[in-house]
């Protein structure tokens, strides 16, 4: 009898919920299903493109991955193959793996004159002594000994000073560092690179080849980071932070000129870099969004080859506070702009992102709590989780390793053992990441909407030991914390 009454109570509750939801609730639920299906298809297409690219690299008998059509046994010491290149790396603080990663960056293959410029704010930064002692001195000794590992790489360090020392030209500290190095370079090509990037050995030549040979009017060549969490015990916040970029990566499955720019890897001609620098100097906060705005204003494309997808191990110790601050910084960029067109584009992106996120989160929650629909919601969310992991984690890892091994075939001195050299391990294959990613996909939709709402009402954000204030799309004040 009690079981019968319990079932009747549940049935009554279900009917009550269905009455309260009505047509709007069901429409929201169905729209969320449609959005999830779109995400699944987008990630599947992205995984397909990346897998096909890796297959083409494996089957290629020539120098295709490095941007050449000459045979693999051609002269590898032809330093005139590519124009001179300046690699600019803004650095802040010293992390546990920084020195090893910088050394691997200097060992990346580029058959042409190349110079690495590390830029710090001041000599008190621990990174300054580490770069001077472990990178520059050792690298110069290696070059004097004709070490093939470093090819033609030279390295130097610049102290840029504080970004807020001149109130008439406020900009973010990262942009301030980049401008300081750019003003001292005379190379034909300039690459703005994050110092914590794990750079594949083929990346520089592949990017330079695309920039120099693509017939479309282009401003720069960029890549895209693909965060994955290597530790199965990592909290849901870490998976949610990684999910943010996975959602934004979908357009790259449909075009190699999707219009997005990632500030971690931006290669351009020096003349174009100086045009971008003028916009950066005028209160610039987000280096990549400013570049995207310049490209749109000058009606040029931003090239994103499939080979430039970089796996990035996300911090497995990410806390809720770190996750929230990360989203706030990402949302803040949408409220910065350099012109009216960029303002409209950013505002539209933010509005669409919030609307789709709320629809997905609320619809999935309704489905989970409505009788008859939890199984459908569970299947779609799980499929979305699996598709995102396949497209971003596994496919990018496959593409990364394939590219490095292809480069090692034509230049054995560059990478003796790609797995040991990079320090990477393949993404975990247990069920735990799939479950946590599934939870993170839904949870993230609510948090990102909240982050946009908070950012809309607050004109300041904390990033890299600075509090930045924005007015009219540009920085108006910078405080040192």
Please give the Cα distance from 402 to 425 (Å, whole number): 14
* Token code pair at residue 363: 């619809």
Output 435 or 294, whichever has higher pLDDT: 294
pLDDT digits (tens, 9 = 90+) for 360-387: 888 777 777 776 677 777 777 777 777 7
φ, ψ of residue 173 in degrees (nearest 5)? -65, -35
* pLDDT exceeds cutoff 50 at 225: yes
* Token representation of residue 423: 């320090």
Q: Please, what is the average pLDDT of the chain?
A: 77
Task: State percent of the chain over pLDDT 90.
Answer: 15
The pLDDT, as a whole number, for residue 108 is 83
3-state secondary structure (DSSP) of residue 122: coil
Q: How confident is the model at residue 14 (pLDDT cuts 50, 70, 90)?
A: very low
Count of CB atoms situated within 10 Å of the CB of 428: 17
Beta-carbon count within 10 A of 137 CB: 12
Task: Give the pLDDT of residue 1.
Answer: 43
Question: Quick check: helix, strand or coil at residue 291?
Answer: helix
Highest mean pLDDT among 66-70, 141-145, 227-231, 446-450: 446-450
More confident residue, 201 or 64: 201
**CATH 1.20.1250.20 is the classification of domain 22-480:** no
**Cα–Cα dist 185/277, whole Å:** 13
**Pair of tokens at residue 144:** 């004097």
Quote the CA–CA distance of 241 and 112 in Å, as a whole number.
38
Q: What is the pLDDT of residue 23?
A: 65
User: Within a 10 A sphere around the Cβ of 119, how many other Cβ atoms?
Assistant: 27
**Residue ranges covered by each domain of the chain:** 22-480
- What residues have CB less than 8 Å from 35, skipping those under 6 apart? 356, 359, 360, 363
70 token code pair: 């000459």
Q: Which residue has better confidence, 113 or 60?
A: 113
Give me the pLDDT at residue 439, please.
79
Provide the pLDDT for residue 68: 38
3-state secondary structure of 267: strand
DSSP 461: E
| pLDDT (average), residues 431-457 | 83
Report whether 29 contacts 366 (CB < 8 A): yes
- Angle, CA 445 vertex, CA 432 and CA 345 arms, to 5°: 130
Q: What is the pLDDT of residues 272-286, one digit of tens each?
A: 999 899 888 887 788
Closest CA to 405 of 68, 71, 72, 45: 72
411-424 per-position pLDDT tens digit:
544 443 344 344 45
Predicted confidence (pLDDT) at residue 431 exceeds the cutoff of 70: no
- Phi and psi angles of residue 183, each rounded to the nearest 5 degrees, phi first: -65, -15
- By CB neighbour count within 10 A (0-12 exposed, 13-18 middle, 19+ buried), where does 94 fall? middle
For the full predicted model, state whether its pTM sits above 0.75. Answer: yes
Residues 153 and 89: beta-carbon distance below 8 Å: no
């Amino acid at each position: 009898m009690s079981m019968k009454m319990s079932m009747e109570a549940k049935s009554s509750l279900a009917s009550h919920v269905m009455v309260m939801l009505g047509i709007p609730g069901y429409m929201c639920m169905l729209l969320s299903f449609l959005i999830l299906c779109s995400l699944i298809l987008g990630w599947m297409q992205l995984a397909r493109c990346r897998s096909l690219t890796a297959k083409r690299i494996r089957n290629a008998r020539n120098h295709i991955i490095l941007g050449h059509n000459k045979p693999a046994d051609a002269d590898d010491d032809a330093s005139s193959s590519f124009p001179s290149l300046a690699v600019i790396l803004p650095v802040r603080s010293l992390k546990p793996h920084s020195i090893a990663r910088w050394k691997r960056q200097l060992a990346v293959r580029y058959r042409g004159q190349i110079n690495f410029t590390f830029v710090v704010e001041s000599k008190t930064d621990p990174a300054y002594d580490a770069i001077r002692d472990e990178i520059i001195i050792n690298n110069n000794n290696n070059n004097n000994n004709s070490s093939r590992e470093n090819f033609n790489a030279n390295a130097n360090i610049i102290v840029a000073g504080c970004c807020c020392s001149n109130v008439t030209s406020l900009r973010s500290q990262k942009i301030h560092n980049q401008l300081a190095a750019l003003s001292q370079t005379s190379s034909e090509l300039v690459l703005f690179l994050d110092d914590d990037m794990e750079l594949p050995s083929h990346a520089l030549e592949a990017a330079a080849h695309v920039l120099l040979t693509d017939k479309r009017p282009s401003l720069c060549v960029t890549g895209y980071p693909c965060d994955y969490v290597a530790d199965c015990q990592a909290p849901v916040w870490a998976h949610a932070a990684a999910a943010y970029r996975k959602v934004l990566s979908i357009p790259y499955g449909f075009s190699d000129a999707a219009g997005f720019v990632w500030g971690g890897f931006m290669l351009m001609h020096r003349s174009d870099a100086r045009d971008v620098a003028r916009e950066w100097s005028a209160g610039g906060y987000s280096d990549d969004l400013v570049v995207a705005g310049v490209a749109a204003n000058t009606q040029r494309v931003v090239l994103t080859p499939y080979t430039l997808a970089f796996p990035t191990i996300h911090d497995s110790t990410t806390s809720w506070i770190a996750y929230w601050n990360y989203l706030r910084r990402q949302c803040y960029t949408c409220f910065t702009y350099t012109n009216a067109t960029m303002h409209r584009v950013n505002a539209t992106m933010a509005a669409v992102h919030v609307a789709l996120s709320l629809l997905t989160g609320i619809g999935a929650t309704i489905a989970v709590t409505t009788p008859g629909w939890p199984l459908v919601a569970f299947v779609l969310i799980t499929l979305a989780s699996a598709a995102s992991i396949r497209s971003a984690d596994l496919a990018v890892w496959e593409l990364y390793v394939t590219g490095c091994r292809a480069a090692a075939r034509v230049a054995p001195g560059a990478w003796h053992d790609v797995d040991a050299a990079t320090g990477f391990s393949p993404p975990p294959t247990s069920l735990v990441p799939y479950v946590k990613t599934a939870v993170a996909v839904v949870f993230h939709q609510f948090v990102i909407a909240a982050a946009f709402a908070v950012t809309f009402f607050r004109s300041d954000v904390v990033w890299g030991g600075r509090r930045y204030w924005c007015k009219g799309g540009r920085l108006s004040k910078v405080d040192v914390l």
